[in-house]
């Protein structure tokens, strides 16, 4: 039987400090160039050389002001602040690549669905069908206040709104223009056939929309749908809508449980377990030998900021860890922040010291360190033991982390038959699922087609 091919996204953000905080101070790191086009076009070309499936770009609306009740640490260490718009990067990167996909995070709470549908259709056209959308509902009170709300909408309620938002988008993307609506016939003077273009009329609890989708059908119509939610309500949402789910694992056993829950959510929604690809966030530090890899790890540690990592985690949980003495047990508090983040604290057995140790590299993702063979062994083991489909590979030092992985790990995985040696043809959805360019029949969005 052919080996399961590992899927791979580069995990990044349109900012300086993304996951592994403090590493922007490393002399070989170039992340302060994030606000230049060249930084992104060079990265896109590098990732395509490594046959990466996609560049997954995170985003936040708001700032991390929970730690010390201020933005002092986020500003000093550039913890996702400043942060620029991820969607505006795609045109430039698509122009210098042919196959790389783009997973774009956008917060639906603050984006009117009618205009958002046009923006993603535009990018899907310009990239020839290489766009995915990472659906988020937000979790920061600072964002809610900046957008005119008194506080964040309650966690499960945000998903109720998200369900309706997707319904509006499916009506626009799938139902407004029929296949064959565009004739493009100069002789008859008919570009689009009026009887094949339909007004969307939606009256719901959260949205009222009456209008035609402004774009003709793009290659995928609906972009590939990414999501990262591990709460019960988040999983229910994923089962209905997500095609790719991003999780944060700490052990293989707990990750397998998460993957199984995602697959079960797809079955509960009338889909197959393989209708969702599951990715886990991961750090990799690879050297020619194990000894050289650990030397590089030690070098990276000397530039990392554990405090910045904990400040970021404070915002994820809604708990100000700076208020605790170094060995004082941290009290779990239920909040509207990220449920998977707060779950780790529920036993009340965490301390600030323990958190600082966990964030030694500036973030709390699993770190695989070793020679190319050791890293490949470990990646294959995670896939085999957990049921994961692939990884969101973080940057530690940029672009060095990706260069090392492409030059050392990918050839080893290819030699073993665990990684593709060429891109398939077609859209991002076709490359990931080896089926059609559009949503499959069993997906809830397909019901909105004419």
Going by C-alpha positions, the residue among 436, 21, 6 that lies closest to residue 222 is 436
> What are 43-101's pLDDT values in tens digits?
999 999 999 999 999 999 999 999 999 999 999 999 999 999 999 999 999 999 999 99
Closest by CA to 438, choosing from 147, 225, 277, is 225
pLDDT higher than 60, residue 396: yes
CA 229, 231, 236: angle at the middle one, nearest 5? 75
- pTM score, two decimals? 0.95
Residue 149: pLDDT band with limits 50, 70, 90? confident
Among the listed residues 315, 342, 340, 339, the one whose alpha carbon sits nearest the alpha carbon of residue 331: 342
Question: What residue ranges define each of the domains in the chain, with the CATH number in brackets?
Answer: 7-287+368-448 (3.20.20.30)
For residue 83, the model assigns a pLDDT of 98
Of 25, 178, 8, 33, nearest in space to 103 by CA = 8
Instruction: Give the percent of the chain with pLDDT over 90.
Output: 87
pLDDT for the residue 7: 98
The stretch 370-398 carries a mean pLDDT of 98
Q: How far apart are CA 138 and CA 219, in angstroms?
A: 28
SS3 279: strand
CA distance linking residue 443 with residue 441, whole number of Å: 6
Predicted local confidence at residue 152, as pLDDT: 82
SS3 217: coil
- Interval 167-226: pLDDT, tens: 999 999 999 999 999 999 999 999 999 999 999 999 999 999 999 999 999 999 999 999
- pLDDT in the model for residue 307: 94
* Mean model confidence pLDDT for the chain: 95
What's the pLDDT tens digit per position in 295-351? Answer: 999 999 999 999 999 999 999 888 999 999 999 988 877 665 655 665 666 666 789
What is the pLDDT at residue 335? Answer: 65
Q: What is the pLDDT of residue 317?
A: 87
Q: Which of 132, 133, 56, 53 is nearest to 100 (CA)?
A: 53
Query: Which contacts of 152-156 are long-range, i.e. CB under 8 A and separated by 24 or more positions?
Result: 152/336, 153/109, 153/336, 154/336, 155/231, 155/233, 155/336, 155/339, 156/231, 156/233
The tens digit of pLDDT for each residue in 13-41 reads: 999 999 999 999 999 999 999 999 999 99
User: Across residues 409-420, what is the average pLDDT?
Assistant: 98
Euclidean distance between CA atoms 424 and 431, whole angstroms? 6
Q: Say what the alpha-carbon torsion angle 277, 283, 288, 289 is, to the nearest 10 degrees.
A: -110
Q: In this predicted model, what pLDDT tens digit does every residue of 133-145 receive, in sequence order?
A: 999 998 888 998 9
Residue pLDDT, tens place only, 353-377: 999 999 999 999 999 999 999 999 9
């Amino acid at each position: 039987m052919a080996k399961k091919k590992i899927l791979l996204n580069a995990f990044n953000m349109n900012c300086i400090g993304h996951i592994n905080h403090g590493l922007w101070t490393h002399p070989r790191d170039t992340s302060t160039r994030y606000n230049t086009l060249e930084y992104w076009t060079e990265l896109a070309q590098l990732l395509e050389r490594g046959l990466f499936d996609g560049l997954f770009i995170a985003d936040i609306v708001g700032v991390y002001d929970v730690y010390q009740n201020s933005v002092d640490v986020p500003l000093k260490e550039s913890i996702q602040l400043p942060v620029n718009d991820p969607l505006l990067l795609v045109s430039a990167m698509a122009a210098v690549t042919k196959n790389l996909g783009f997973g774009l995070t956008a917060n639906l709470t603050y984006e009117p669905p009618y205009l958002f549908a046009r923006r993603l259709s535009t990018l899907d056209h310009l990239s020839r069908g290489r766009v995915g959308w990472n659906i988020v509902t937000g979790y920061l009170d600072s964002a809610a206040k900046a957008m005119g709300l008194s506080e964040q909408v309650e966690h499960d309620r945000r998903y109720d709104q998200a369900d309706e938002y997707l319904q509006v988008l499916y009506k626009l993307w799938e139902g407004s223009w029929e296949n064959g609506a565009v004739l493009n016939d100069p002789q008859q003077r008919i570009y689009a056939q009026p009887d094949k273009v339909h007004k969307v009329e939606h009256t719901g609890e959260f949205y009222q929309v009456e209008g035609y989708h402004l774009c003709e059908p793009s290659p995928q119509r609906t972009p590939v749908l990414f999501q990262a939610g591990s709460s019960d309500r988040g999983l229910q949402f994923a089962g209905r809508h997500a095609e790719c789910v991003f999780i944060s694992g700490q052990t293989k056993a707990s990750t397998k449980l998460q993957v199984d829950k995602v697959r079960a959510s797809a079955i509960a929604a009338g889909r197959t377990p393989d209708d969702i690809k599951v990715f886990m966030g991961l750090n990799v530090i690879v050297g020619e030998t194990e000894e050289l890899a650990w030397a590089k790890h030690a070098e990276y540690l000397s530039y990392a900021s554990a405090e910045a990592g904990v400040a970021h985690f404070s915002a994820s949980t809604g708990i100000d860890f700076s208020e605790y003495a170094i060995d004082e047990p941290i009290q779990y508090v239920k909040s509207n922040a990220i449920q998977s983040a707060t779950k780790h604290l529920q036993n009340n057995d965490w301390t600030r010291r323990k958190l600082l140790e966990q964030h030694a590299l500036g973030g709390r993702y699993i770190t695989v360190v070793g020679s190319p063979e050791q890293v490949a062994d470990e990646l294959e083991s995670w896939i085999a033991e957990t049921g994961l489909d692939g990884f969101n590979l973080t940057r530690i030092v940029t672009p060095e982390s990706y260069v090392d992985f492409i030059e050392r790990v990918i050839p080893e995985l290819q030699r073993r038959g665990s990684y593709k040696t060429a891109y398939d043809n077609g859209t991002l959805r076709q490359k990931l699922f080896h089926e059609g360019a559009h949503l499959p029949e069993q997906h809830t969005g397909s019901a909105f087609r004419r």
